[in-house]
Structure 1
Amino acid sequence: MSSRSFASFEPAPRRTEDPPIPDALLTAFLSSLSSEGAACSVVYGAAVRHFLHWLDLQGIAIRTLDDRVVRRFEKHRCRCHRYSAQQAVYKADIAARVRRFIRFLEDRGYIAVGDGQADIGKHLAAYSAKIADQMFTRGTARNYRSDAEHFTAWLRVSRLALGDVDAELIERYAHHDCRCPVYRKRGKLVRSGTKRRRRCAQSFVEFLRTRGAIAPLVPVAETDPHMSAYLAWLKQHRGASDETIRRYRSDITRLTPMLGEPSQWDAAILRSAFERRSKETPGSVSLLVTIMRSYIRFLIGQGECRPALLHAIPSVQRYRLSNLPRYVDAATIERIIAACGTHRPVEVRDKAIILLLARLGLRAGDVRDMRLDDIDWRGGYVRVKGKTRRPDRLPLPQDVGDAILAYLATARPRSGEEHLFLRALAPFTPFVSSAEIAGIVSRVLDRGAIEGVPSGSHIFRHSLATNMLRAGAGLESVGTILRHSSPETTAIYAKVDLPMLTKIAQPWPGDLPC
């Protein structure tokens, strides 16, 4: 832990005998500060003498001290003999030193701090070792350690046990007006914002849960029985993926307040809810129709609503061939690949990802989910699961294999993770979203100053299909590389093969236009 810490974390058992006289306590406290120099003993001695004098005037016993007493002391309008001028100028400094004195009394067992604090020191030491193993930068590791110490100090000041910790308590800690006995400069805590407090406290609490010091989170039960049964049906009988279930649940949850109980539904209610929801997400109207009809069919099968309501959801006109796929030519693809540097580990990783997207037309999710054992180096192929969750094998081009091998040999962090690609900063976890792959593409375009290229990773997939067709490949070959389940999906790329369309185009009937 930080050498500047003013907090200890293993209080002695509560003493049954009365505490020594105040002068003896002060002497013992100042003796504990001897390693910090004579000046430290002078300033702390003055603050504690003032506090003990005020306690005597107020008739407050040592055993009853807590942070509320210190706050009273900090706010009192000082008329104490020989101390009033000092109190007026350095209130915050004096209160911080008094809190350290109270911490000393707690550590000696003269003030009870409640149960649940005995093993805090061991947990903090183990957490510090874990932070070291994750290879954070020096500053980041210091932040996580100091905030974990700050959190435990706040728990003690607030007289809270580890068993009381929950999300609401973490939020209270993130926003608390700090008076904790941790390192301060002129009475103020070293800067630690709300976001950092929350993030670091959550990290420490998750660590405590893995050690069994805090009870694990209990998943929130689904309050809507219809929703709970529907989600189970999607999982067990429809084989939906977790991402599909999450999306369906999200949209239906937003619709439920507009609809009410299924037994009360009618066509007007369904159409009104659909109209309101479609205005919120106009780009996902067709998917919303699919989700609503799926849910209604399930409820009809359960006897919860009338079968005729299935026809109440309006159809959405879709023209599959109305737009051209966005693509870039082969020369621009090569420029993007050439823009990938190899001087830093993150650039080596990004180049391997860009080559997988460009040469094999993989989706962002395919790259995100790729694992180390998906590559067969002897056979020269890579396994890709894709949307169907049925693994397919694709040939591994030489330049792609070389880029992946360079990443594994020189840039991939040492980690027990099975995923092929990891984040470049500690704690070196896998990507959790396809949007992170799109962000890599965007950064590569910025580094290479390449403009006029549509953003996102899917542009490589469209470009690969288009350039293959223009080079003479058939639709069947393109569909095999892109792993399309239907030839109709591949056929949309025939619209951008202008040389082929020129050959089969018929002359304009009649006279030439004027």
Structure 2
Amino acid sequence: MARSHSAGRPRPDLRAARSHLPEPFAAAVDGFERHLALERGLSNHTVRGYVGDVVSLLSGLPGPGDPVLAGLDVTALRQWLSSQLDGGASRSTLARRTASARVFTAWAVRSGLLAVDPGLRLASPATQRDLPPVLRTDQADDALHAAAAGAQQEDPVALRDHAVLELLYATGVRVGELCGLDVDDVDREHRVVQVVGKGDRERTVPFGAPADEALQKWLAGGRPLLCGDSSGAALFLGVRGRRLDQRAVRRLAHDAVGSVPGAPDIGPHGFRHSAATHLLEGGADLRSVQELLGHATLAATQLYTHVTVERLKAIHDRTHPRS
């Protein structure tokens, strides 16, 4: 079973702002962070986002009162969000920060730090979900073929990079899920991988023959050369033998598509978008794609139907005689 791993230290600006909070506010942030990580089981990345938003919110409040967060009312929340808007925050960012504030105020009431929950009166700004950039199938093939060609040199890093890209595209897993994989999470006999996603939800995701071949070469001829005392059971390793870092995977993904003419500049999440889009274009049903991607709701997966519809419209406009 895959396990979650730290995705890095807090940003220096967040640490500085947090260190300047009054002690009762800092204690509230600490308690909220423990709640998110231990009780709700959120990912490190999500926890950092929520905590960063709450630190920003509390930094503008008057000093602690009785109860501790007495100054946190709906007016203060709206003023904070207005300042974010004035600072250039997008609608999607405002929606996320609104959600962070609501989760925090609900927790604060349960913890006795607030008498009433002002987040209940806070409206979320409507967001417009942009279509994510995706690779065409031929562009994905070109990127993976280039990685395979590099792996022919039997260099352990090249073997690893090829296996990482093949698995990203084959499974559509999130970059954090991929970096958190252990060797035992991969069942090559049945060509499936066990993934623990958001909310500690576990799922089984299949992969095909190209990814299996790349994994076999990495496990046999690449991983043993990078493995060291600090490797543990990690499936993918960095050059120093530690578990592969998400930032390294992001650089790898950008570099891989950068060599493909006309391909959009995407990272690991772009490979996830591409995998979902190509599955739907190939005839997969929406429920199956939802399960493969680990989406909690079907609404999140439905975004990809818009991608495929837009592609169909573009093909129609380009090819139909009466378009």
With structure 1 as the length reference, what TM-score do the two structures score? Answer: 0.49
Partner of 1:364: 175
SS at match of 1:415: coil
Separation (CA, whole Å) in 2 of partners of 1:496 and 1:265: 41
SS at match of 1:227: helix
1:55-454 matched pairs, under 5 angstroms: 223=23, 224-260=26-62, 261=64, 262-278=69-85, 279=87, 281-282=89-90, 284-307=93-116, 309-320=118-129, 323-340=130-147, 341-342=150-151, 343=153, 344-412=155-223, 413-416=226-229, 417=231, 418-424=233-239, 427-432=240-245, 434-446=246-258, 448-454=259-265
Deviation string, structure 1 residues 379-427 (Cα, Å, up to 9, x no partner): 3321111223232222232211111111122222132421111112xx3
The structure number with the bigger radius of gyration is 1
Q: Are 1:255 and 1:277, in contact at CA under 8 Å, matched by a contact in 2?
A: no
Separation (CA, whole Å) in 2 of partners of 1:312 and 1:302: 19
* Alpha carbons of structure 1 residues 236 and 453: separation in structure 2 relative to 1, 3 Å: closer
Separation (CA, whole Å) in 2 of partners of 1:330 and 1:295: 43
Separation (CA, whole Å) in 2 of partners of 1:476 and 1:265: 41
* CA deviation after TM superposition for structure 1 residue 439, in Å: 0.6
Which 10-residue stretch deviates more, 285-294 or 255-264?
Answer: 255-264
* Alpha carbons of structure 1 residues 481 and 232: separation in structure 2 relative to 1, 3 Å: closer
Separation (CA, whole Å) in 2 of partners of 1:257 and 1:492: 36
Q: Gaps spanning 5+ residues in structure 1: where?
A: 1-221, 506-511
Separation (CA, whole Å) in 1 of partners of 2:274 and 2:136: 7
With structure 2 as the length reference, what TM-score do the two structures score? Answer: 0.76
Separation (CA, whole Å) in 1 of partners of 2:73 and 2:289: 47
Q: Are 1:267 and 1:309, in contact at CA under 8 Å, matched by a contact in 2?
A: yes
Partner of 1:485: 296
Partner letter of residue 422 of structure 1? L
Partner letter of residue 248 of structure 2? E
Partner of 1:457: 268
Equivalent residue pairs, number:
277
* CA deviation after TM superposition for structure 1 residue 306, in Å: 4.5
Deviation string, structure 1 residues 97-143 (Cα, Å, up to 9, x no partner): xxxxxxxxxxxxxxxxxxxxxxxxxxxxxxxxxxxxxxxxxxxxxxx
* Alpha carbons of structure 1 residues 411 and 285: separation in structure 2 relative to 1, 3 Å: same
Separation (CA, whole Å) in 1 of partners of 2:284 and 2:188: 27
Separation (CA, whole Å) in 2 of partners of 1:299 and 1:481: 35
Separation (CA, whole Å) in 2 of partners of 1:415 and 1:358: 28
Partner letter of residue 104 of structure 2? Y
* CA deviation after TM superposition for structure 1 residue 307, in Å: 2.2
Deviation string, structure 1 residues 122-172 (Cα, Å, up to 9, x no partner): xxxxxxxxxxxxxxxxxxxxxxxxxxxxxxxxxxxxxxxxxxxxxxxxxxx
Q: Are 1:470 and 1:499, in contact at CA under 8 Å, matched by a contact in 2?
A: no
* Alpha carbons of structure 1 residues 397 and 316: separation in structure 2 relative to 1, 3 Å: same
SS at match of 2:248: helix
* CA deviation after TM superposition for structure 1 residue 491, in Å: 2.0
Which one scores higher on RCO, CA 8 angstroms, separation ≥ 6?
2
Partner of 2:6: none
Q: Are 2:185 and 2:193, in contact at CA under 8 Å, matched by a contact in 1?
A: yes
SS at match of 1:339: helix
SS at match of 2:198: coil
Q: Are 1:259 and 1:273, in contact at CA under 8 Å, matched by a contact in 2?
A: no
* Alpha carbons of structure 1 residues 489 and 246: separation in structure 2 relative to 1, 3 Å: closer
Partner letter of residue 445 of structure 1? V
Separation (CA, whole Å) in 2 of partners of 1:333 and 1:484: 23
Q: Are 1:445 and 1:451, in contact at CA under 8 Å, matched by a contact in 2?
A: no
* Alpha carbons of structure 1 residues 258 and 478: separation in structure 2 relative to 1, 3 Å: same
Partner letter of residue 428 of structure 1? G
* CA deviation after TM superposition for structure 1 residue 312, in Å: 4.9
SS at match of 1:384: strand
Separation (CA, whole Å) in 2 of partners of 1:257 and 1:494: 41
Q: Gaps spanning 5+ residues in structure 2: where?
A: 1-21, 317-321
SS at match of 1:382: strand
Q: Are 1:441 and 1:456, in contact at CA under 8 Å, matched by a contact in 2?
A: yes
Which 10-residue stretch deviates more, 409-418 or 290-299?
Answer: 409-418
* Alpha carbons of structure 1 residues 280 and 376: separation in structure 2 relative to 1, 3 Å: same
* CA deviation after TM superposition for structure 1 residue 332, in Å: 1.0
Percent identical among aligned pairs is 24
* Alpha carbons of structure 1 residues 372 and 300: separation in structure 2 relative to 1, 3 Å: same
SS at match of 1:263: coil
Separation (CA, whole Å) in 2 of partners of 1:308 and 1:386: 30
Separation (CA, whole Å) in 2 of partners of 1:409 and 1:249: 41
Separation (CA, whole Å) in 2 of partners of 1:444 and 1:394: 23
SS at match of 1:407: helix
Separation (CA, whole Å) in 1 of partners of 2:293 and 2:34: 32
